[in-house]
Structure 1
Amino acid sequence: MDKNRNQKVYNHYVPQFLLKNFSENDKSISMYIKDTGHYVKNAPIRKVAGSDYLYGENGKIEDIFCEVEGFAAGIIKKICSNEQLPKNKQDREFLYLFFTLSEARTKEFADNFTQVFNDFVKNTARFGMYSGLPGFAEFTDAEIEELKVTMEIPSLYSIKAAANMSDAITDLHMLLIVNRTKTPFIITDTPVTKYNYYLLNCKNIMGYGWYQNGIIALMPISNSYAIALVDTCIYRIRSFNKKKVVINDDDAIFQINKLFALQAKQFIYANQGIPAEYIEKLLNEKEELRALNTNKLLLTSLSVRSIKNHIQLPFLKMKVKPLYGQAHSSSDYYRKHTIPLLNCDNKTWIYKGEDK
């Protein structure tokens, strides 16, 4: 047996402890597949939201995530028990890291980066072929199209960047959303959903990034609780308690779940009490997505799909007018303290013409 080979074959990109918070029995969860409409009422948690050796065969990154999840599980358990965000500064700062890592570690990010890298290799080869560069001239279009590059840990790049990025988003206000209705929150294969009313109608904004003005990030943590990160320079929180908002309206929960469902790449997970018909209703509205088409570029960027549908988040109100059209200055797009980071690649990855 290879001692360097990780014995934890199936790597979960949505932590099992988090999925159990939505389950009725801690062992299974309902699963809805967007492409096919197939619904499984009791899918084993240990066999969903994961992929074989997603974080490599030596298990080092998987072991790190196990430690991260153990710490996160304790914090989130206290949040759900006490119905309040942690007062401890270290725990609160850790939650920002948990947000960025939870987004960056998904299979979608890994697949996206693999596609981006392959597009880059193919486009570079085409450029060399058409330019007659040595080593490339003998290629044909068909041969270039057959090129395929695989990576042991395709999400490594995004995971490293996410670990450094969390420090830059601590200015975002952390808010606990309490669901008092009988309809539980859902969770998906993209557990962090970003949205942005402020930039929703900007034609040249391809996606919503952590560094942008007006960013809102949502992560459901159980049937009854979700955590939000909000740019309070752009939005006012409609609550006397600025650290917690209580929702008693089923329509409001529907809107939030709808945003989660539209953001999902492929799989939607939920409490077994949620019927397939409810999830189908969430998906009745066609997704309006913006994403960078890397096939048309020689220099490519990694981005996340961003929902452009008009979703109502009733606990927020705009404090400033949203941007429309295009050709705004960078200070309109990005929070002031993050602008220098856009030109520094020693801590974060760079987006050219794209968001962070």
Structure 2
Amino acid sequence: MANNKKHHFVPQFYLKNFSCDGKSISLFNKRSVRKVFSAGIKTQCYRDYFYGKDLKLENWLAKVEGKVANVFKKIITSQAIPERKDEMYEDLLLYIAIQASRTTYAAEEMSQVRDLSSDKRYSLNESESAHTALQYAMRMLPAYYSLSSKLIINHTKEKFITSDNPCVFYNILTEKLNISGGSHVNSLGLKIFLPISPELMLVFYDQSTFKLGSKKVRQIELNDLSDAVALNKLQFVSCEQNIYFKDKAYDPMKLHHAIKKYYKVQKLEVLGKTSKYGVNANRVDTRTNLKLSILTLKKKARLILKSRDEKAFMEGRDTELTNQYIQMFNQSLKSANNDSDFHERCLELAKFKSMQMLEKG
């Protein structure tokens, strides 16, 4: 069991894409403001028994990683994203959902929610927080299917970097309106950015509010240096401690000083407390005043900004899905085995949303 005690919350196969030799990686620690060259990949982004000593969750995550490692390898080789009908696309969406919720950052968010709860019986240790965060991710899996996806191919000299919290949720609309709640997976206007190599980045986005690149082309050729810099800024604001990069000549200090005014001082924004449900809180959104030449607001987004329609965000990007979640939640409250029943209904809903999006083309 001791051989499996190091539980990596950012997979080693992923970090190797940003390594020169497959064994070491260069990093910048945001807290100590220090660069380290040739840090061992095995010693990065892990906690001892982070997912529990029984290793059940760790072993399941290893299987997911095994599948998606092949997906990433194919994307990097072909410079193309799998089609929705391809099983690899299902594996990719599952990984995105998991990666966004498996880090120490996500676990601490979940722990803070419970600590702020009015019912102190539900405080969590680190392993329990990680379990709960991943359980939440699986329940929200259906919402990922309503996002469109593209692959950004970086041709600039500013190569992509990554971090210990690499999956970045960003919402330009809520940022412009200065309201919270833009980081929920079913949020209107959401974009998710994940670099997978120094030259490639996956982006999942709300197609109803934004146009990203050319309409029918799933690859975006990035030639504007300022766009690459803007995308790298996201990692600096999102990360917990470490930025990772391949090129040892890269100078992280320049971006660190340019972007540190956007660093988060807290993870949650408490909206209120209730005696029935504990605490109502939103994630503190990642904000960098993001501007990209490849991104254009559609008419729907422009109208929302002009009218300052905050109600549109309450209803969510997929209003049908929002109503389905509310219905399932109310049904689960009446069930003796409500937690398990709700989880199973969410997985069934994910299959339904997958088929629905395939029919839409």
User: Normalising to structure 2: TM-score of the pair?
Assistant: 0.81
- CA separation in 1, counterparts of 2:269 and 2:214? 40
**Which structure has the bigger radius of gyration?**
1
In structure 1, distance between residues paired with 2:152 and 2:312? 33
Instruction: Rate the CA distance shift 1:173–1:326 in 2: closer, same or farther, 3 A.
Output: closer
1:132 corresponding residue in structure 2 = none
Residue matched to 1:134: none
Alignment correspondent of 2:141: 166
Change (3 A) 1:55 1:290: closer
- Are the equivalent residues in 1 in contact too, given 2:210–2:295 (CA < 8 A)? yes
The structure where helix makes up a greater share of residues is 2
| Match of residue 42 from structure 1 | 38
Change beyond 3 A, Cα 1:168–1:281: same
What is the CA RMSD across the aligned residues, in angstroms? 2.7
Name 1:242's counterpart in structure 2: 217
Whether the aligned pair in 1 keeps the contact of 2:180 and 2:284 (CA below 8 Å) is no
1:311 corresponds to 2:311 = no
2:113 to 108, 112, 116: 116
How far did 1:149 drift? 5.2
Residue in structure 1 matching 2:23, options 14, 20, 27: 27
After superposition, where does 1:246-257 map in structure 2 within 5 Å?
246-257=221-232
C-alpha change, 1:149 and 1:68, in structure 2 (3 Å) is closer
In structure 2, what is the Cα distance between the partners aligned to 1:215 and 1:317?
Answer: 14
Preserved CA contact (<8 Å) 2:236 2:256 = no
Counterpart of 2:93 in structure 1: which amino acid?
A: Y
TM alignment of 1:75-114, pairs within 5 A: 75-87=71-83, 89-114=86-111
In the alignment, structure 1 residue 15 sits paired with structure 2 residue 11:
yes
Q: Secondary structure at the match of 1:306?
A: coil
Q: Deviations over 1:155-213 (max 9, x none)?
A: 21221222232232212111001011222211111111011122223344244111011
3-state DSSP class of the match of 1:19? helix
Distance 1:334 1:49 in 2: 32
What is the distance in 1 between the residues matched to 2:315 and 2:280?
21
Secondary structure in structure 2 of the residue aligned to 1:255: helix
1:301–1:98 distance in 2 versus 1, CA, 3 Å: farther
Q: Distance in 2 between matches of 1:91 and 1:316?
A: 26
Report if the CA contact (8 A) 1:212-1:334 is conserved: yes
Name the residue aligned to 1:223. Answer: 198
Deviation at 1:49, TM superposition (A): 1.0
For 2:210, the aligned partner's letter is Y
5+ residue gaps, structure 1, are: 126-143, 349-356
Provide the TM-score with structure 1 as the length reference: 0.82
SS of the residue 2:172 aligns to: coil
Is the alpha carbon distance of 1:301 and 1:270 closer, same or farther for their aligned partners in structure 2, counting shifts above 3 Å?
farther
Map 1:252-331 → 2, pairs under 5 A: 252-273=227-248, 274-281=250-257, 283-287=259-263, 292-294=268-270, 297=273, 299-301=278-280, 303-319=282-298, 320=300, 321=302, 322-323=304-305, 327-329=310-312
Deviation string, structure 1 residues 34-58 (Cα, Å, up to 9, x no partner): 1221211221100011111110011
Measure, in 2, the Cα distance between the counterparts of 1:62 and 1:51. 12
CA distance in 2, matches of 1:108, 1:214: 23
Structure 2 unpaired stretches of 5+? 330-341, 347-361
> Matched residues, percent identical?
23
Gap change, CA 1:284 and 1:80, over 3 Å in 2: same
For the residues of structure 2 that align with 1:234 and 1:152, how far apart are their CA atoms?
38
Q: Which whole-Å CA distance do the structure 2 matches of 1:118 and 1:288 have between them?
A: 19
The residue aligned with 2:352 is: none
How many residue pairs get matched?
322
Tell me, in whole angstroms, the C-alpha distance in 2 between the residues paired with 1:151 and 1:311: 33
Which 10-residue stretch deviates more, 84-93 or 242-251? 84-93
AA aligned to 2:317 is Y
Determine the structure 2 residue equivalent to 1:340: 323
What amino acid is the match of 1:300?
V
1:31·1:267 contact (CA, 8 Å) conserved in 2? yes
Residue identity opposite 2:64 in structure 1: V
Contact 1:193 1:218 in 2 (8 A): yes
Distance, in Å, in 1 between the alignment partners of 2:193 and 2:247 is 22
Find the aligned partners of 2:116 and 2:315 in 1 and give their Cα distance: 31
Match of 1:185 in 2: 160
* CA distances 1:260-286 after superposition (whole Å, capped 9, x unpaired): 211112211111432333443553543
CA contact (8 A) 2:6 2:46 kept: yes
Rounded Cα–Cα distance in structure 2 between residues aligned with 1:102 and 1:149: 20
C-alpha distance in 2 between matches for 1:200 and 1:338: 24
Whole-Å Cα distance in 2 between the matches of residues 297 and 202 of structure 1?
A: 24
